[in-house]
């Protein structure tokens, strides 16, 4: 852990003002983090900025693990200095909308440059599936994932990245053999385009991206069966269409 006030030092300054950590901006962001109740940053994660490990680094922001003054572990998304948008307000609003149907990390607070949200710990879905979790467990997790995508469709919120969801679904351990799929990263989300969450995730899981890995665990029907069900759902997007998709994917019996 590094105290927030030490982020003015190199190489830490780079993670809160990437890729141009000018001192005045770094000090301003430190004040902002303090105002949001952040006391420490954890230097951990799968990505790195120089020699400093972080949870994630994308086109818009850097994602860090942090601790609040009350001792709570949270995740931060900090806007890149060279981001193609001047504020994270839209992403925060999309996350808040997803939270209204119990999807996504819980939004805690935000400013134009920082989003503070629930810290979610767990492997990505491909990593989890590679651990051979077993047919019943995989069916249960995928059913929960499809149900969450259906809820986003119902409120008209499109995640935008689920056709290539390699790092957008984490599998959280809940204890007692229970696992919860969690959708993350709503920076490309929109409530102004037709939602395609269920069709996108099904294409990723059962037709393209992860289909070979999922097929090693589940007995999948022919892809044409799934494609027909997805077309029917897309045309009406109702509960009957959703159940048709679940049946085509072999998940209906797990409800």
Domain of 10, CATH number, reads 3.30.200.20
Residues 89 and 132 in one domain: no
Residues 66 and 134 in one domain: no
Residues 147 and 207 in one domain: yes
**Last residue of a domain, which of 118, 140, 162?**
118
Q: Which pLDDT does position 163 carry in this prediction?
A: 93
Q: Which pLDDT does position 115 carry in this prediction?
A: 98
The answer on pLDDT for 174 being more than 70 is: yes
**Last residue of a domain, which of 100, 118, 136?**
118
The answer on pLDDT for 254 being more than 60 is: no
Q: pLDDT tens across 22-50, in order?
A: 999 999 999 999 999 999 999 999 999 99
pLDDT over 70 for what percent of the chain? 99
Residues 130 and 249 in one domain: yes
**Last residue of a domain, which of 118, 145, 169?**
118
**Averaged pLDDT score across all residues of the chain:** 95
Residues 250 and 158 in one domain: yes
What would the mean pLDDT of 96-116 be, rounded to a whole number? Answer: 98
The answer on pLDDT for 253 being more than 80 is: no
The answer on pLDDT for 134 being more than 60 is: yes
Domain that holds residue 37: 2-118
The number of domains in the chain is 2
The answer on pLDDT for 176 being more than 90 is: no
Confidence band for 222, pLDDT divided at 50, 70 and 90: confident
| Length of the chain in terms of residues written | 255
Residues 136 and 52 in one domain: no
């Amino acid at each position: 852990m590094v105290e927030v006030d030490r982020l003015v030092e190199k190489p830490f300054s780079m993670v809160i003002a990437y890729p141009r950590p000018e001192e005045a901006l770094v000090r301003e962001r430190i004040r902002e983090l303090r105002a949001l109740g952040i006391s420490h940053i954890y230097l951990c994660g799968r990505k790195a900025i120089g020699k400093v490990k972080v949870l994630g680094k994308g086109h818009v922001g850097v994602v860090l693990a942090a601790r609040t003054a009350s001792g709570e572990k949270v995740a931060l998304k900090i806007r890149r200095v060279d981001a193609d948008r001047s504020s994270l307000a839209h992403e925060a609003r999309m996350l808040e909308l997803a939270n209204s149907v119990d999807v996504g990390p819980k939004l805690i607070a935000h400013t134009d440059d920082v989003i503070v949200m629930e810290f979610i710990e767990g492997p990505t879905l491909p990593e989890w599936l590679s651990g051979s979790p077993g047919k019943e467990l995989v069916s249960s997790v995928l059913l929960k994932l499809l149900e969450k995508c259906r809820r986003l469709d119902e409120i008209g919120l499109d995640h935008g990245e689920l056709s290539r969801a390699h790092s957008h679904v984490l599998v959280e351990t809940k204890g007692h053999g229970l696992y919860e799929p969690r959708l993350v990263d709503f920076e490309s989300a929109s409530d102004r385009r037709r939602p395609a969450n269920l069709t996108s995730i099904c294409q990723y899981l059962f037709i393209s991206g992860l289909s070979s890995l999922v097929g090693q665990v589940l007995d999948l029907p022919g892809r044409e069966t799934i494609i027909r069900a997805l077309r029917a759902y897309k045309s009406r997007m109702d509960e009957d269409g959703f159940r048709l998709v679940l049946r085509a994917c072999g998940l209906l019996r797990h409800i």
